Amino acid sequence: MVSGPVVALITGASRGIGRGIAVELARVGHSVAINYASRRDAAEECRNLCQQAAPSGSKASFEIFQGDISRAEDRSRLLAAVCERFEWIDLLVNNAGVAPTVRVDMLSASEESFDRLMTINLKGPYFLTQAVANFWVSNLPKLPAGRSKPKIVIISSVSAYAVSVNRGDYCMSKAALSMMTRLFAFRLAEYGINVYEIRPGIVATDMTAKVKEYYEARLAERFTPISRWGTPEDVGRAVAAIAEDRFPFSTGEVINVDGGFHLQRL
Ligand code: NAP
C-alpha cells in the first residue's frame, strides 16, 4: 500500500547525508525506503531516527533495503523489493557515493580507484535511475488521480566543478552526475518527471571525518561565505522542498547547498 504523502527511495541512507535526507522527509510525514550497502546497524539507527522524527499519528513507514548500487543484480532486487513493499515510488534520491580510499595526486592515482569511484558514484546511479524511470514510464497511466508526478534528485558535489588534484576520479564522477541530471531532465520531461541536482559543499559526515582538520583550517579562513560545516539536515531540507513539489516549473536545476562556496571571489 502507498503510505504517507510521498514514498522516497534514498540510496545510501544508512549514514551521513542520506540519513539526513531520510530524517527530514520523515519529519514532514513521508515514507522512506532506506537503502544501504553493508552497514545494517546504521540503517537500523536511521529507521529509528525516522520513526522518532515522524509526526504523531503519521501513517508513513520506514523500511530497510540492502543493495550495492554498483551491482546490476542488486539494483534490480532493490527496485523489485521497494515496489513490492510500497507499490509506488514518488521520489528517487541518488545519494550513495564514496570518496577515494586514499587521496593521491592524479599523476600517480590508480585505475582501481578510478574504476571503483566511477562504478559506485556514476554507473550505479545512472542505471538505477534508468530502471526506476522505466518503471515509472510503464506505470504512470495507473498513477492515482491527484498524486504528483515522480521526481529525481541527484546528489553531486561542489567537486563537480571545483578542482581537487588529489582525487581527480571523485571530481570526474561528480561532474558526470551533473550531465546525468541534464540528460534525465531532458529525456523525462515529456512524462512530467522533474530532475534536480543538489550540490552539497563541505558536510560533516564519515566521508569528511578523515580530512576534518584540513577543512577546519579552511573554514577558519572563511573559504565559504557562510562559514560553518554543512549538516546532513541542510541537504535534507532542500530535498524535502523538492518532495513537496515546490519547483514544478524547474527541471535540470542545480541547487547549491554549500554555504555559498560557489560564489567565488577575486
Ligand atoms: P558517508 O557518510 O560515507 O555515507 C555513505 C553512504 O553511502 C552510506 O549510507 C553507505 O552505506 C552508502 N553507500 C556507499 N557505497 C554504496 C553502494 N555501493 N551501494 C549502496 N550504498 C552505498 O558519505 P556522505 O558524506 O553522506 O556522502 C553521501 C553523498 O554525498 C555521496 O554521494 C557524496 O559524494 C556526496 N557528498 C558528500 C559531501 C560531504 O562533504 N560529506 C559533499 C558533497 C557531496 P553503508 O552505511 O552500508 O556503508
Catalytic residue among 14, 156, 173, 178: 156
Residues 6+ positions from 73 with CB-CB distance below 8 Å: none
Of 157, 154, 23, 161, which is closest to residue 91 (Cα–Cα)?
154
Q: Which CATH number fits the domain that encloses residue 21?
A: 3.40.50.720
In a domain, 28, yes or no: yes
CB 170 within 8 A of CB 147: no
In a domain, 262, yes or no: no
Report the number of distinct structural domains present in the chain.
Answer: 1
The dihedral over CA atoms of 45, 49, 54, 55, expressed in degrees to the nearest 10, equals 140
Cα 31 from Cα 95, distance rounded (Å):
17
Q: Is 157 a catalytic residue?
A: yes
Catalytic residue among 36, 170, 173, 178: 170
Separation of CA 145 and ligand 1 centre (Å)? 35
Q: Is 31 a catalytic residue?
A: no
**Dihedral sign (CA 69, 30, 243, 237):** negative
- Phi, psi at residue 149, to the nearest 5°? -65, 155
> Does residue 3 register a pLDDT over 70?
no
In a domain, 264, yes or no: no
In a domain, 1, yes or no: no
Cα 101 from Cα 113, distance rounded (Å):
8
In a domain, 23, yes or no: yes
List the grid coordinates of 84.
Answer: 513490492
Instruction: Please tell me if the CB atom of residue 155 comes closer than 6 angstroms to any atom of ligand 1.
Output: yes
Provide the pLDDT for residue 144.
78
In a domain, 97, yes or no: yes
**Dihedral sign (CA 214, 215, 219, 223):** positive
Range of the domain at 117: 7-257
In a domain, 53, yes or no: yes
Stretch 54-61: mean pLDDT, rounded? 96
Residues 6+ positions from 171 with CB-CB distance below 8 Å: 159, 160, 162, 163, 164
Q: How many C-beta atoms surround the C-beta of residue 108 within 10 A? A: 7
List the grid coordinates of 224.
Answer: 565559504
Which ligand 1 atom lies nearest to the CA of residue 97?
Answer: 32
| Ligand 1 pocket mutation pick from 32, 94, 207, 254 by most atoms within 8 angstroms of CB | 207
Of 250, 254, 114, which is closest to residue 170 (Cα–Cα)?
114
Q: How confident is the model at residue 4 (pLDDT cuts 50, 70, 90)?
A: low
- Phi, psi at residue 94, to the nearest 5°? -85, 95
Residue-wise pLDDT for 137-173, tens only, equals 999 998 878 889 999 999 999 999 999 999 999 999 9
What is the bridge-based pairing of β-strands 31-36 and 253-257?
unpaired
- Phi, psi at residue 218, to the nearest 5°? -65, -40
Q: Is 14 a catalytic residue?
A: no
**Cell 590508480, residue?**
110
Question: Any bridge partners for residue 197, and if so which?
Answer: 154, 254
CB 104 within 8 A of CB 153: no
In a domain, 85, yes or no: yes
Half-sphere exposure of 85 (CA within 13 A, CB side): 20
Instruction: Please tell me if the CB atom of residue 18 comes closer than 6 angstroms to any atom of ligand 1.
Output: yes
- The average confidence (pLDDT) of the chain is 96
Stretch 94-113: mean pLDDT, rounded? 97
| Ligand 1 pocket mutation pick from 9, 11, 15 by most atoms within 8 angstroms of CB | 15
Residue-wise pLDDT for 164-213, tens only, equals 999 999 999 999 999 999 999 999 999 999 999 999 999 999 999 999 99
Instruction: Please tell me if the CB atom of residue 206 comes closer than 6 angstroms to any atom of ligand 1.
Output: yes
| Ligand 1 pocket mutation pick from 32, 66, 94, 98 by most atoms within 8 angstroms of CB | 98
CB 61 within 8 A of CB 2: no
Which ligand 1 atom lies nearest to the CA of residue 94?
Answer: 32
Q: Is 36 a catalytic residue?
A: no
Which amino acid is it at 83? C
Cα 184 from Cα 194, distance rounded (Å):
9
- Give percent of the chain above pLDDT 90: 94
The closest residue, in CA terms, to atom 33 on ligand 1 is 97
